[in-house]
Amino acid sequence: MGMITLEDLDAMEENPSPDSADNTNSSLEDEEQDRLLNYWQSVGRGHRVDVPREMAEPIVQLARNNHPENRENVPFQFLGWKEKCGEVLYEKRQYEKANWACVKVHEEKYEQSICLGFMKLMQYICQQNSSGLYLGITVPIVTVVHTNESRSELTRSVTIAYYLPAQFQDQPPQPFDTDIVIKEWPATIVYTRTFSGATNEDTIMYEINLLAEILDSPELSLQDTFIVAGYNNPAAANRHNEIWFLHKP
């Protein structure tokens, strides 16, 4: 991702003056920011999404803080699973009611929508909120998708959502971006199956139909609304994903 390397640090003067040190540190930070932004812009072009210069600071904040030990997992209660020949086909979980920051997007392509929605949420997480604080990463980031009546393709409208960390659940910081809305989602039972790789219209429809085939009682779930849960950012090469079926209330 173009983080500062040991070679960068070794290239610094051994005993720089205070002014020289300040200038060198500033130069390194600018180089890091440019490398990260250029990488995201390159990935964005692959999805026909423009990554503006204003995303540079949120991208750097995310890169510096997005380590496994710094991530907060969305809490859930494990209710059971189904397996075959030692392979877990799906899990059953319960998620309690909680506040999520949600943004609705309806671009031409699913990948465009999740990239644009994720960038908006990144800015909210990275201090563009009423608290002025970096809120922290929670996983998974989820995308609510809908299918047509025949369940043959996705509709264009999707909602990307970020779980507010526990310390902000009672008083969620308000977003500066009016496209982002804080919503309290009710307690929900989900049936979930893991898959890897890129997420696009074809892979999501494949995973929806696959889980529908192996689910014991698919009629107990919503038939046109599903969730794609992502545990990596959209720029990651090998993504860890889940498809969720929502139990009918």
The residue ranges of every structural domain in the chain are 16-65, 72-247
Residue 18: pLDDT above 80?
no
Contacts of residues 69-76 at CB distance under 8 Å and 24 or more positions apart, as own/partner, are 70/136, 70/137, 71/136, 71/137, 71/138, 71/139, 72/136, 72/137, 72/138, 72/139, 72/163, 72/165, 72/166, 73/138, 73/139, 74/98, 74/138, 74/139, 74/140, 74/163
Confidence category of residue 81, pLDDT binned at 50, 70, 90: very high
pLDDT at 209: 94
pTM for the model stands at 0.81
Q: pLDDT higher for 160 or 197?
A: 160
For 107-147, the pLDDT digits (tens) are: 888 888 988 999 999 999 998 999 999 999 999 999 999 99
CB-CB neighbours of 169 under 10 Å: 13
pLDDT at 75: 97
Residue 202: pLDDT above 90?
yes
pLDDT at 246: 97
Q: Average pLDDT, stretch 16-20? A: 40
* Among the ranges given (70-74, 164-168, 181-185, 224-228), the one the predictor scored with the smallest mean pLDDT: 70-74
Residue 215: pLDDT above 90?
yes
Residue 207: pLDDT above 80?
yes
* Among the ranges given (95-109, 138-152, 231-245), the one the predictor scored with the smallest mean pLDDT: 231-245
Confidence category of residue 27, pLDDT binned at 50, 70, 90: low
Q: pLDDT higher for 45 or 173?
A: 173
* Among the ranges given (28-32, 36-40, 41-45, 225-229), the one the predictor scored with the smallest mean pLDDT: 28-32
Residue 172: pLDDT above 60?
yes
pLDDT at 68: 75
Cis peptide before 140 (omega within 30 of 0): yes
Considering the segment(s) 72-247 as one domain, its CATH architecture is Alpha-Beta Barrel (3.20)
Q: pLDDT higher for 225 or 235?
A: 225
